[in-house]
Amino acid sequence: MAKDNELLRLERHIEQLLQRFAAVRDENRRLERELSTAVADNEQLRRELGTMTEERQEMTTRVDSLIDRIENWQAELPDETVPVDDAPAGQPSTTEEQSETGEQQATARVETDLENKQERDGGIQGSLFSR
């Protein structure tokens, strides 16, 4: 009987080992699938990164070219600043002040146009509703 008990104990021990082996094997397969997926994702991300790096480099080159063109264009422009002492009386001394004056004139024109439009529209509405 002692031998039967030892044999039963050995059978249970072997059964446990086989169950653990099956669980470890299944876990190994799952991990291998995850690794395979991660490797494929990694490779695709590397390709995308390479493409984006090339696009970024192309954009940088294009922007640098535009900046160079603007700088060359600015260098070719004559200096439009008039010294304060040489400016005629009542005239702005710099292009910035001239620009501000032009903006003020444009604003005044828009306001006048708006007032005229409101007067016309009021006249039309007034005549429509006065009947």
Q: Token pair for residue 54?
A: 């090339």
Q: Which long-range contacts (CB under 8 A, 24 or more apart) does 68-77 make?
A: none
Residue 19 lies in a domain: yes
Which structure tokens are listed for 39? 């490797």
> Looking at the domain assignment, is residue 38 inside a domain?
yes
Query: Does residue 34 sit within a domain?
Result: yes
Whether residue 115 lies inside any domain: the answer is no
Q: Report the number of distinct structural domains present in the chain.
A: 1
**pLDDT tens digit string along 44-102?**
999 999 999 999 999 999 999 999 999 999 998 887 665 555 555 555 555 545 555 66
Domain that holds residue 66: 2-72
- With respect to residue 102, please indicate whether it lies within any of the assigned structural domains: no
Q: For residue 78, which phi and psi values (nearest 5 degrees)?
A: -70, 155
Query: Is the model more confident about 1 or about 21?
Result: 21
Residue 92 lies in a domain: no
